[in-house]
Amino acid sequence: MTISSRSGSPGPDAAEETTVIPVVPAQDGADETTTLPPIDVPVLEDEEFEPQADRDATFRPSRAGWAARSAVWLVLAWFVLAFPVNFLSPFTLGVSDVSAASEAAIFAIVGLSLNVLLGYAGQISLGHQAFVGIGAFTSAYVVVDLEMGFWFAVAVASGLGLVQAAILGAVSLRLTGLYFALVTLAFGNFAQQTVFAIPELTGGEGGKEAPRPAMFDSDYSYYFLCLGFLAVVLFLDWRLTRSKAGRALQALRENPRVASSYGINVKAYTLLAFAVSGLFAGLAGALMAHHDEVIVNQKFGFQLALLFVLMTVVGGLRSRSGVVIGSAFFALLHSGHLLSLLEPVTQTIFRFSLVDFITGTIGLPIEFVALVIGPILLLLTITMYPGGIGQQIAPIREWMLGRRFDRHAGKVTEVEVNDVRA
Amino acid sequence: MSVLEIDDVSIHFGGVKALQHIALRAGEWEIVGIIGPNGAGKTTLFNCITGFYTPTSGTVRYRGKDISNLPVHARTALGLGRTFQNVGLVKNTTVLENLCTAQHLQVAYDPVSGILGLPATFVEESRVAVRARQILELMSLEHIALERVADLPYGMQKRVEIAAVLATDPDVLLLDEPGSGMGPEEAHDLGDLLLTLRKEFGLTIVMIDHHVPLVTRISDYVYCLNFGEVLAQGTPDVVRRHPEVVKAYMGTDETDEPGEAGGAGSPATPQPGAHRSEEYA
Amino acid sequence: MNLPLYEQLALALTAGVLRGAVYALVALGIVLVFRGSGIFNFAQAEFGTTGLFAAYWALEIKGWGYPTSFLFGMGVAIALGLLTERLVIHPLRDSSRVTLLVGTAGVALAAIGFQFWWFNETLVMSMPKINEAFFMTPWGAVVTVQELITLGVLAVVAVGLALFFRSPSGLAIQAAQQEPVASELVGISVRRVSMLTWGIAAALGGLAGILAGPYLTFSAGFLSFGAVGALLPGFMAAVLAGMRSMPGAVAGGLLVGCIEQLSSLSILDGAVPGAGALVLFVFLLGVLLVRPQGIFVGKVATA
């Protein structure tokens, strides 16, 4: 067969002239199995170069290695699935802790949403709280005012998130990155001051009710609902990066010229990234509304937008596990639960009260801890570990996936990408 | 019929007339060489052909179809494949990924199914990977499949780039200085490679290069550009002896052996130049 | 609000120009940094708030005099600017523009965090004005002397900057910005120029913060998105100036102030809540989509 899957046969006049080109008609369905005919391609002089990447390709863990990895996986599963509901747990967590865990899962969805834009498409959004907020109020509105079901409300909120993000994305196509950041900032400001101030939508100062469906009324079941949605989002994100859309985004982020010469419609795929990001954000908003049960518009201020950017970047752009951990970390830090969870640990082990230290010695109220520590972590991340948490945990992640433990895995060596001269 | 027809193309940037009334033809299975000093407008011409620039006037035709107003990706879909002067690859990722990305248009599912993870997309993905490996094998590059492009030496990147363009399934290859950074021997091997690729894939090749021996050896027809205009055109021998060209560009190359032009891969094309005038103006 | 329209207009324009003076100061700093390093400095307004907090601390807690406190606040703002340059901008000089933007946003957030930390007992603060006097214009607008001082300072700063950029060090800055390598060769320290740029920008932010602080009460993040949220309007003014022209930034600041205040006209007010934010958003979109190169660009961006 030829390498061409299109009817790559040359023009009629030329075909008569030649006999050298083996044009074998493409056989339907059999394409995967046929190999290309061996042809004699002259080998160019190889420069001295030792391939590095294939070295560990044959590595398989030993039996003990598999056992250790399985044990770690089990602990992780226990931590996510059983620990919050006090199953087989040495600690006893209250309902508010589970609620905080739900919020962590929701923040993780937001983080993944922002990661699609910031990490995959290379577009910064400083107005992401607007997408989330509009999703939240839409879902509440659909459930309370339109008296429709919860699942329908979630779908509407996600859909609206998709549409508004796509519209904003259409604007971004006409602007360069930095100017677009300004537009998102203005959009967030507009949503906060104008849209969220419409009392019919947001219930004004007192907030808007957003009841949960009967099945997920308890904080425990709601946690698993959030976890389920997070799993779905993770799956979609995984497939996004492993399919043609993810490759297209990677190419256009790094070099739009090369991307388009590969046949990628740069504009369409940028819009697709916005749509996916908006979908996730709307979904997270809906979950957030029904998580809080009463959703207040003050929640969606500019600081929340910055917190979203912070947790995504600190988590590590383009690293799913990093973004999830970073988002959960900041969600817990933000609500103060991280400290109260760590408190018994530091009390018993170090005989030292972390909370007393921070509020007393340093004089920092718990609610501002995230605000002070977060930016410092952010600045440390971008100046010293551009890969964020994702970079730090990469060796462990690789190990858990059955590869060799490599301290240097996941090192982010950003190559300066010059625009291709064209 | 010519595969590629450029008619009276001019492009101005502000007051700068980068290209003026360029006419160029590339017939089926021809190798067309473009030479000319730096700043002559060679790459600008490529940008007009591939759609990065819209010419101020004139038309670009592909197999008789006017493609002057098509965006870049649509021209790639028609079969124009292009390499860049300084390697056009996604450098922060692996060679294999690049070849998968380059197959974008041949992937048989839509992006949304891909994101939803429909079963068929998994099958298609493995087919894409297999084909990428096949192309790498063909180019003797399979040993570096998992290397990050940025870690590779320049010459190897250049070859990966050609492999990536082949993965886009082109009919016409537009190569912007494929021999840059190569010595005479490597350039000679590159010539053999291009001749083989033309033979195996039935490609038409338009090539910009500074290696005059390379261009004259493998080209069927050569254009020499200077100051945005065609200074001379014709068979390699005609162009290299053209007094204007010698004066403007390559006086020293006169010492080259003339016999080289009929070297390794004798053109499989109908005798080029038969359908056009030997001189430009 | 049943005043005749022209009177409302006069009121709005007065308020707009006065508010716009603050925006213009912020915009000048943004333009300066962008010309110097191609960075969108989201920390610009927080240089101001931090300076304001320092001045407040000196004046109200330490009981220093007004001039001393003012200078102290300016000093803190400038120090923050220089620290930002040293600790964030310089290490990231080879990173992508978006990373740098996130970096400056990080500085802004860190500054806000420290402001909260510093004054976590008093959530809302107020600072006395330089001169508490105010008067009424014939068309009924209340104008405080403090606001007039701000306007005056803006004028002085604008002229001062114009003169500075014609002086040898000003020219050196321009040279270093346009041709870093060549400037290094002729003995201009690009590093020092970068420090100087950020120092001046932070001083401009400090001026905006300490002068605007007494307008109303303030709390952490005041100049970014508090009572006088000048960050977004400042950026809009800078965009109007094509991110390059200094006089353009001044004109842009005043224009943005006026446009924002026009939304308080009774024909608009009440129809939509938060009409100011809506108007600004639409205005920014309009400018960026129709004339991304800016409006007040001037012939050449020299001054």
> Both B116 and B232 in a single domain?
no
| Residues B59 and B123 grouped into a single domain | no
Q: How far apart are the first and last CA of chain C?
A: 42
Q: Do B220 and B187 fall within a single domain?
A: yes
Does B76 touch chain A if contact means CB atoms closer than 8 Å?
yes
A328-375 tens-digit pLDDT: 998 988 887 887 777 777 777 777 777 777 777 776 777 777 778 888
Q: Is the pLDDT reported for residue A181 higher than 90?
A: no
- Token pair in block for residue C139: 């068309």
> For residue range C193-249, what is the model confidence (pLDDT) as tens digits?
889 899 999 999 999 999 998 888 888 777 877 666 888 899 999 988 888 888 899
**Inside any domain, residue C287:** no
Whether B279 is covered by a domain: the verdict is no
* Same domain as B183, residue B61: yes
Query: Is C152 inside any structural domain?
Result: yes
pLDDT value at residue A46: 52
How many distinct structural domains can be found in chain A?
A: 1
User: How many CB atoms neighbour CB B238 within 10 A?
Assistant: 16
Q: Tens of pLDDT along B120-168?
A: 999 999 999 999 999 999 888 988 999 889 888 888 899 999 999 999 9
C280 touching A (Cβ < 8 Å): yes
Q: Do A41 and B196 touch (CB under 8 A)?
A: yes
What is the nearest CA distance from A198 to chain C, expressed in angstroms?
Answer: 7
Q: What CA–CA distance (Å, rounded) separates C10 from C265?
A: 10
Nearest to C151 by CA among C258, C250, C69: C250
At residue B192, the pLDDT reads 92
Cβ of residue A43 closer than 8 Å to a chain B Cβ: yes
Determine whether the interchain pair A20/B159 forms a contact, defined as Cβ–Cβ distance below 8 Å. Answer: no
- Looking at the domain assignment, is residue A26 inside a domain? no
Are B66 and B97 found together in one domain?
no
Judge whether B230 lies within some domain. Answer: yes
Name B16's bridge partners.
B13
| Element containing residue B195 per DSSP (H, E) | helix B184-201
pLDDT at B2: 87
Place of tokens 């509304």: A289
CA-nearest residue of chain C to A359? Answer: C117
Assigned domain for B276 exists: no
CA B76 – CA A263 distance, rounded (Å)? 5
Instruction: Provide the Cα torsion A124, A126, A129, A134; round to 10°.
Output: -80
Q: Which residues of A touch B268 (CB under 8 A)?
A: 17-18, 20
Task: Determine contact: A42 vs chain B, CB below 8 A.
Answer: yes
Q: B87: helix, coil or strand?
A: coil
CATH of the domain at B215: 3.40.50.300
Question: Which residues 152-211 of chain B have a CB within 8 Å of chain A?
Answer: 152-153, 155-156, 159, 164, 166, 168-169, 171, 176, 185-186, 189-190, 192-193, 196-197, 199-202
Does some domain include residue C262? no
How many domains are contained in chain B? 2
Q: For residue A264, what are the domain limits?
A: 95-400
The answer on B178 and B116 residing in a single domain is: no
* Same domain? B109 vs B189: no
State chain B's maximal CA–CA distance in angstroms.
64
B243 to chain A, closest Cα gap in Å: 30
Average pLDDT over residues B41-69: 93
- Please check whether residue C4 touches A, CB under 8 A: no
Q: Is residue C260 part of a domain?
A: no
C256 in any annotated domain: no
Chains B and A touch (3+ CB pairs under 8 A): yes
Domain membership of residue A90 (yes or no) is no
> Does residue A242 fall inside a structural domain?
yes
Partner residue opposite A264 with nearest CB, options B104, B156, B176:
B104
Assess whether B224 and B257 both reside in one domain.
Answer: yes
Residues B174 and B257 in one domain: yes
Are B74 and B176 in a shared domain? yes
Assigned domain for C242 exists? no
Residues B258 and B179 in one domain: yes
**Which band of pLDDT confidence, cut at 50, 70 and 90, is reported for residue A401?**
confident
Q: Which domain holds residue B117?
A: 91-153
Q: One-letter amino acid identity for B185?
A: E
Residue A10 banded pLDDT, cuts 50, 70, 90: very low
In a domain, B270, yes or no: no
Does the beta carbon of C116 lie under 8 angstroms from any beta carbon of chain A? yes
Q: Which residue of C has its CA nearest to A369?
A: C113
Residue A160 has what pLDDT?
Answer: 95
**pLDDT by residue, tens only, chain C of 303 residues:** 467 777 778 888 888 899 899 999 999 999 999 888 788 898 999 999 999 999 999 998 888 888 999 999 999 999 999 999 999 888 887 777 777 888 898 898 888 888 888 876 666 788 888 878 788 777 777 888 888 889 999 999 999 988 888 888 788 777 777 777 777 777 777 788 889 899 999 999 999 999 998 888 888 777 877 666 888 899 999 988 888 888 899 999 999 999 888 877 756 555 666 777 888 888 888 888 887 777 776 544 333
Chain C residues inside the 8 Å CB shell of A310: 106, 109
Residue ending a domain, choose from B153, B187, B206: B153
Closest C-alpha among B211, B251, B222 to residue B26? B222
pLDDT number for residue B262:
37
- Range among A68-82, A175-189, B57-71, B176-190 rated most confident: B57-71
Distance of alpha carbon C152 from the chain centroid: 15
The CA distance from A169 to A186, in Å, is: 14
Which of the four pLDDT bands, split at 50, 70 and 90, describes residue A193? confident
Task: Please name the residues in contact with B135: beta carbons below 8 A apart, sequence gap of 6 or more.
Answer: A3, A36, B99, B163, B166, B167
CATH number for the domain that contains residue A228: 1.10.3470
pLDDT band at A114 (very low <50, low <70, confident <90, very high): very high
CB atoms B189 and A422 under 8 Å:
no
Statement to judge: residues B183 and B75 lie in one domain: yes
Question: Residues B75-113: pLDDT tens digits?
Answer: 999 999 999 988 889 988 999 999 999 999 999 999 999
Q: Identify the domain containing residue C166 by its residue range.
A: 29-231
Q: How many domains does chain C have?
A: 1
**Interface list for A 293-352 with C (CB within 8 A):** 301-303, 306, 309-310, 313
Q: Is the pLDDT of residue A17 over 70?
A: no
Distance of alpha carbon A178 from alpha carbon C32, whole angstroms: 16
pLDDT of residue A50: 67
